[in-house]
Amino acid sequence: MTGNSFGQLFRITNFGESHGKAIGIVIDGCPPMLELGAKDIQKFLDRRAPGQSEVTTQRQEPDKVEIISGVFSGKTTGTPICMIIFNKDFKPADYREISQAFRPSHSDFTYQKKYGIRDPSGGGRSSARMTAGNVAAGAVAFKLLNQRFKTEITAYVKRVKDIVADINPGNVSQKDVESSIVRCPDKNAAKAMIELIESAKNSGDSVGGVIECVIKNVPAGLGDPIFDKLEADLAKAMLSINATKGFEIGSGFEGIKMFGSEHNDTFIIKNKKIATKTNHSGGIQGGISNGMPIIFRVAFKPTSTIQKKQQTVDIKGKSMKLAAKGRHDPCVLPRAVPIVESMAALVLCDHYLRQRAQCGDKFD
Amino acid sequence: MTGNSFGQLFRITNFGESHGKAIGIVIDGCPPMLELGAKDIQKFLDRRAPGQSEVTTQRQEPDKVEIISGVFSGKTTGTPICMIIFNKDFKPADYREISQAFRPSHSDFTYQKKYGIRDPSGGGRSSARMTAGNVAAGAVAFKLLNQRFKTEITAYVKRVKDIVADINPGNVSQKDVESSIVRCPDKNAAKAMIELIESAKNSGDSVGGVIECVIKNVPAGLGDPIFDKLEADLAKAMLSINATKGFEIGSGFEGIKMFGSEHNDTFIIKNKKIATKTNHSGGIQGGISNGMPIIFRVAFKPTSTIQKKQQTVDIKGKSMKLAAKGRHDPCVLPRAVPIVESMAALVLCDHYLRQRAQCGDKFD
Amino acid sequence: MTGNSFGQLFRITNFGESHGKAIGIVIDGCPPMLELGAKDIQKFLDRRAPGQSEVTTQRQEPDKVEIISGVFSGKTTGTPICMIIFNKDFKPADYREISQAFRPSHSDFTYQKKYGIRDPSGGGRSSARMTAGNVAAGAVAFKLLNQRFKTEITAYVKRVKDIVADINPGNVSQKDVESSIVRCPDKNAAKAMIELIESAKNSGDSVGGVIECVIKNVPAGLGDPIFDKLEADLAKAMLSINATKGFEIGSGFEGIKMFGSEHNDTFIIKNKKIATKTNHSGGIQGGISNGMPIIFRVAFKPTSTIQKKQQTVDIKGKSMKLAAKGRHDPCVLPRAVPIVESMAALVLCDHYLRQRAQCGDKFD
Amino acid sequence: MTGNSFGQLFRITNFGESHGKAIGIVIDGCPPMLELGAKDIQKFLDRRAPGQSEVTTQRQEPDKVEIISGVFSGKTTGTPICMIIFNKDFKPADYREISQAFRPSHSDFTYQKKYGIRDPSGGGRSSARMTAGNVAAGAVAFKLLNQRFKTEITAYVKRVKDIVADINPGNVSQKDVESSIVRCPDKNAAKAMIELIESAKNSGDSVGGVIECVIKNVPAGLGDPIFDKLEADLAKAMLSINATKGFEIGSGFEGIKMFGSEHNDTFIIKNKKIATKTNHSGGIQGGISNGMPIIFRVAFKPTSTIQKKQQTVDIKGKSMKLAAKGRHDPCVLPRAVPIVESMAALVLCDHYLRQRAQCGDKFD
């Protein structure tokens, strides 16, 4: 009830602090008999890990995951799966100053107001490093969905500051995404994005952007009416990711420019199944998946931690100037791509189990 | 667990169908000793009710709320507050056809796939009429917040299709909003919006837009890290409203155009308290309110129900043409304003009680 | 979160006050396509209703249930089922005195301490009348279980004060139970119980006892390890019933007299299936049903409301004497039998859906 | 949702297997600023640890707890507290046989039916060793309650098989309990219990008994009406402990022998506060604490694991004989005393935070 758990039936609980002993996750509700090993998890974590390329932070955290429980003889047993990443690259000196300062647009001030205490090392609990546990859990959720429905989840960087990539969500492949260090499958845009990020980094500044995510092979029937609409749970999942400022599904904010007669997705018969001609709905109608691809976009603000000197106040309310000293991402988007995918997998997997509970396991 | 409840500690459960016997809501967790009467609720409901003006549906549903339980001698007792609206304006004939058809961009198809059965009258459970219960609950949440913190929640129509209003969120008043039938406090824009809506209506079409919401006097410290960030819960609440396609907080999708050094909100001392110079964060940092006004925007698609004839398929997969026969809103935004406010009140109230549980009742 | 909901996936929310406008229940999570009508519910309610016989209260509450939502064309739709009983037999005069007094062993004092306010009419929210909603929900849960597994749930009065009935749980039938106004299928014991209850009633006093419940045709595999063990959830369900003071499963408190070698249930093969020779486990091992009959017992204290004059204090802490004036049950057990059955049905049904969510719908 | 979490606001999630890498617990919702160190936890764990005396198992598991997260500079931060016990004394050979057999009155059979897979080493997930994590969490809950209300929780062995101790719950001290290896403060009874346990052990058998628990300095107002009555949550907590078969509060099953006029607890004024003359209610009325001591009892069956040869069937349904080979407790009660106390602390602490959420932090 204090925000550290997510999901109802495929439920994860996140613990740890950025520079504490360890960070980790407990999954409760994973079905038994799913083949699972550390390498299933590690390949997701490696895409989120720091130090991948020149456009991400140079920090080196190996982020080696250990499965502590819930797996026996290479299979899940239906009991809680605890996964832990023990911390290695701990540099407390970098953070001494910020324990006394409120970094602009960070959570130092709000944690202090809320709890009266906070662990400042590496941003403590508020660090984006906390998402590693979620990515580990997302890897398990994805494996379950992929095995059951051949579900594919592909996110990519659609935009960095003013540079907008030209990507057809219908035929983007994860291989194309991964072949680019900025995780943008439009090669020209990717090149411009990399130059922009490096330029921002060199001037001690940062940039933001948009990640788009497309999910194929989602069975119709996932999502619950009224409050737990599939897009509502996706919106929550995405807005829970550090640095996000917006979410839109299907036609999103742009769809406003259309009349209803243009925007409505006409039902047609395609391959003997009911489908829609257009997909302004983004694969969800009335909160429930309709079998079409789910498409959504997430806005990320420019990274708050910058090396330029900034005005702020300290913990006693005194004015001061502050410049980040650690190694930080000038643009969080390339590393956020697997986070977006993982959170989407968690939402879908949870709703799959919910649908199975209420309506049985018949999908087509 | 099937999407009909919302909130953890100020928890609501929604029931009913659009044209069934009644629709209603149960609030569980409301603190005792709050003065509450049906008129506190009714004034919120009246703003959502159909038949208010020429830009909304002409249907007449009095939407008279009855408090069934949880109030004794004009005060809440701490036990569940059940509120019911009994249905009056029931016209089954209007809906006979749609029980056999899948209306484009409606939930007829997805409900059928999910449950194998659906109540078609008036859209049954998927009707926007279901939000009336939420508005009733939001009225109670708002009263609690307003009494405790003088919290003010003001939503308004910021945009209809291409018409964008010029509104300063810092000094918009609910009176100005309510003086316009389209609930847009920019008079010129309001006039243009009304004309556009009427023109769409006359051609059997519909339009969408953006509602902006500003919340003042929110104490710092509300919201829970990691998953239940305040903006994540607001995003979920907003995306749970019928016809919404997007959510953004503070700088939102536009903030992407800035560098980090421009976007960061510098901390300053104002009236002897810590505040931020700009508010690109939209009043929330690290998932927790910082005491600045909360500002967010919600995108609504053009209404799906239109009177123009549209292509679709019927329940047996046969092609057919369909035109809405009932009385519908050519633009849902004016009536959605109190829904946005109510859902925001529910989120804040829930996090207020959660903060009180974990950290006590000290706010400044 | 304030105790008015029960169950995770077949989740009920109870509302109302004894002498308010109505009492009711919302079921969230009921699978769709279950045939359901008011008469399925009413027959359970009639067994709980007051005024059935001379051993129960003479109050006449028709307790007529109305299904408000969630059923269309005689079938559940998967949306919330709200059921309401509107109150008729309302005699406020009976309760004027107790609004100022703390009745011994009642909840007047604790409600006042907890909430600072309470609805005194008919005991308000703390009245056993609140269980009517739970019985209505239990009737739905039972129908689902019975349809899917032919599950039979039979509770009966095993003991009243010193009179212990001699009943073989292996072949007791609901018909035998219902043929006795005290709901005890041992005719001799039943006769003695009736005499004892009438004698207690005549002297303005009350008696308690034990209800035993046997559940047949429970599939193996229901119940969740660690905290939500099937017996733990049954214990909670039973101790939530008004006037209960104890719960035991299988061998219970008596089993303590045995050595482990006597108490252990040897596994054998019976009808080609694995069974146990004895059933000291009461059908549950390690928190999970093993396919044998579930057997448990619940202790009910003598009714607190008696017509004998008792010493107490009033709301201002002044000593006073008090005698109940309304019409009350001298022994709650006969009417509690369907409550025990209903709560058991709710627990089993919830765990059935939970098992289906995690492990699929294969049972044998 | 699969039984591995307990509590709503002071919520724990248990993970691990008896002979896996580690066992552990995550506490979510602990208030910030509570002084906490590993030694606060360790002293509770040491009382549960094996190898304490000749009446418990001779296995030596140091059960050294590590606090992984949620504590900074010796104080809780309001974020999840993860505590882990890494496993040391792992003897897989002892358990090879049981992976193929269903031990009588164990959960081997039911786990296999439920999940289709189970971790057999040391009983895997179903081992009583899983309670260590709960005891660690209970130590934190207890510290919070004791600091806020001076709450004292004292459990002790009331009975072993036919030997019933004579103990006055009003003045039993934890020191007296701890001075006895069987944790029974009645010296004569303790001596007889020890002899009985050793005799059972020598004949390869086991015994059960009753633990009584008395809780002083509980504020009035804890507990939630209808389903989450304080006694209902205590019942669930106790029946979730391995080997328990029954729970009773206050007068319990014995109270049935009284008339209502004898059983009712008369309200009186004591030390200027409202109290009750007797305490048949066991400190709880209408599901809410009344400020009197809470007294309850829990029945434990004789340990299922015995060294006598027993008849059973194997995983293929073939008859076989089985005798436990490891080192086991001939009577679980002495080590279960801190488990009972911990689970009680967790229930009370959760309801304290729930009361604070709904009604504020005013107690007297």
* DSSP track, C126-192: GSGGGHHHHHHHHHHHHHHHHHHH--EEEEEEEEETTEE----TTS--HHHHHTSTT--S-HHHHHH
- Could you tell me what percent of chain A has a pLDDT over 90? 85
Q: Give the number of other CB atoms < 10 A from CB of residue A90.
A: 14
Is the pLDDT at A107 greater than 90? The verdict is: yes
Interface membership of D31 toward B (CB under 8 Å):
yes
- Chain C residues with beta carbon closer than 8 angstroms to that of D236: 227, 232-233, 235-236, 239
Dump pLDDT digits (tens) for C299-309: 999 999 999 99
* pLDDT band with cut points at 50, 70 and 90 for residue D95: low
What domains does chain D contain, in order, with CATH numbers?
5-359 (3.60.150.10)
User: Which contiguous run of DSSP H or E holds residue B244?
Assistant: strand B244-249
pLDDT at A273: 92
- pLDDT tens, residue by residue, A298-343: 999 999 999 999 999 998 889 999 888 777 899 999 999 999 999 9
Tell me, what amino acid is at A99?
Answer: S
Q: Do C77 and B125 touch (CB under 8 A)?
A: yes
Residue-level pLDDT at B323 = 87
Q: Measured between CA atoms, how close is D10 to chain B, in angstroms?
A: 9
A16 contact residues in D (CB cutoff 8 A): 68-69, 80, 82
pLDDT mean over C336-347:
98
Query: Is D94 a residue whose pLDDT tops 60?
Result: no
Total length of chain C:
364
Contacts of A308 in chain B (CB under 8 A): 261
Count of CB pairs separated by less than 8 Å, A with B: 381
pLDDT score, position B124: 87
The secondary structure element, H or E, covering residue A137 is helix A131-149
Nearest CA in chain B to D34: B359
Neighbours of chain B (3+ CB pairs under 8 A): A, C, D
**C74 three-state secondary structure:** coil
Chain D residue with Cα closest to C129 = D226
Residue A95 pLDDT greater than 70, yes or no: no
Extract the runs of DSSP E, i.e. beta strands, from B101-172.
152-160, 163-164
pLDDT tens digits for range D165-180 = 999 999 999 999 999 9
**Please, which pLDDT band fits residue A51 given cuts at 50, 70 and 90?**
confident
B119 token code pair: 């109540």
Whether B227 and A245 lie within 8 Å, measured CB to CB: no
> What confidence tens digit (pLDDT) does each residue in C26-58 have?
999 999 999 999 999 999 999 998 878 878 877
Print burial letters for A20-31: b (CB count within 10 Å at least 16), e (below 16): bbbbbbbbbbbb
Q: Which chains touch A (3 or more CB pairs under 8 A)?
A: B, C, D
Q: CB distance from A62 to chain C under 8 Å?
A: no
How confident is the model over D208-230, as a mean pLDDT? 98
Phi, psi (degrees; rounded to nearest 5) at A109? -65, -45
Average pLDDT over residues D265-286: 96
Per-residue pLDDT, D100: 83
pLDDT tens, position by position, A291-300: 999 999 999 9
| D30/chain B closest Cα distance in angstroms | 7
- Chain CA centroid to CA D152, Å: 15
Average pLDDT over all residues of chain C: 94
List, for chain B, all residue ranges whose pLDDT scores fall below the cut of 70. 89-98
Interface test with C, best of A2, A356, A362, A363 (most C CBs within 10 A): A356
Quick one: pLDDT at residue C96? Answer: 63
Nearest-by-Cβ selection for C232 from D14, D239, D258: D239
Cβ proximity of C239 and D296 under 8 Å: no
Distance from CA of B115 to the nearest CA of D (A): 23
Q: Quick: pLDDT tens for D119-163.
A: 887 788 999 999 999 999 999 999 999 999 999 999 999 999 999
Pick among C354, C356, C362, C363 to test the A interface (most A CBs inside 10 A): C356
- pLDDT of D53 reads 82
**Mutate which: D147, D288, D354, D356, vs B, most B CBs within 10 A:** D356
- Give the pLDDT band (50/70/90) at residue C327: confident
Query: pLDDT digits over D5-34, tens only?
Result: 999 999 999 999 998 999 999 999 999 999
pLDDT at D76 over 90: yes
Distance from C-alpha of C301 to C-alpha of C245, rounded to nearest angstrom = 6
* pLDDT of res. B99: 79
Summarize pLDDT for C145-202 with one digit per residue, the tens: 999 999 999 999 999 999 999 999 999 999 999 999 999 999 999 999 999 999 999 9
- What's the burial of A316, exposed, middle or buried (CB within 10 Å: 0-12/13-18/19+)? exposed
- Average pLDDT of chain A is 94
Contact B360/D at CB under 8 A: yes
Say what the pLDDT of residue D91 is: 56
B202: CB partners within 8 A, 6+ apart: none
- Please indicate whether residue D55 or residue B172 has the higher confidence score (pLDDT): B172
Residue of chain A whose alpha carbon sits nearest to that of D17: A69
According to the model, what pLDDT value does residue B315 have?
87
For residue A353, is pLDDT > 90? yes
For residue A92, the model assigns a pLDDT of 52
Give pLDDT tens digits for C267-282: 999 999 999 999 999 9
Shortest alpha-carbon distance between residue B209 and chain A (Å): 5
Whether D228 contacts chain A with CB within 8 A = no
Euclidean distance between CA atoms C211 and C213, whole angstroms? 7
Does residue C286 belong to the interface with chain A, where contact is any CB pair within 8 Å? no
Q: Return the exposure string of B237-271: e unless at least 16 CB atoms fall within 10 Å of the residue's CB, then b.
A: bbbbbbbbbbbbbbbbbebbebbbbebbbebeeee
Q: What is the pLDDT of residue C94?
A: 56
Q: Which DSSP letter does residue D26 get?
A: E
Nearest CA in chain B to D356: B357
**Between residues A77 and A119, which one has the greater pLDDT?**
A77
The subunits that touch chain C, with at least 3 C-beta pairs less than 8 Å apart, are A, B, D
Closest Cβ opposite residue B13 in set C16, C22, C80: C80
- Residues 69-128, chain D: which have Cβ within 8 Å of C? 102, 104-107, 109-111, 113-116, 125-126
Least Cα separation, residue C243 to chain D (angstroms): 8
Distance of alpha carbon D219 from alpha carbon D240, whole angstroms: 25
Q: What mean pLDDT do residues C199-225 have?
A: 97
Among B11, B68, B118, beta carbon nearest to C16: B68
Question: If contacts are CB pairs under 8 Å, which of residues 254-273 in chain B contact chain A?
Answer: 255-269
> C122 pLDDT band (50/70/90 cuts)?
confident
Task: For residue A237, give the H/E element and its range.
Answer: helix A230-239
Q: Which of C199, C202, C253 to mutate to test the interface with D (most CBs of D within 10 A)?
A: C253
- Long-range contacts of residues C265-268, Cβ cutoff 8 Å, at least 24 apart: C265/D104, C265/D105, C266/D104, C266/D310, C266/D311, C266/D312, C267/D102, C267/D104, C267/D109, C267/D311, C267/D312, C267/D313, C268/D311, C268/D313, C268/D319
Higher pLDDT, C363 or B350: B350
Is the CB of residue A31 less than 8 Å away from at least one CB of chain C?
A: yes
Reported as a pLDDT band with limits 50, 70 and 90, residue A63 is confident
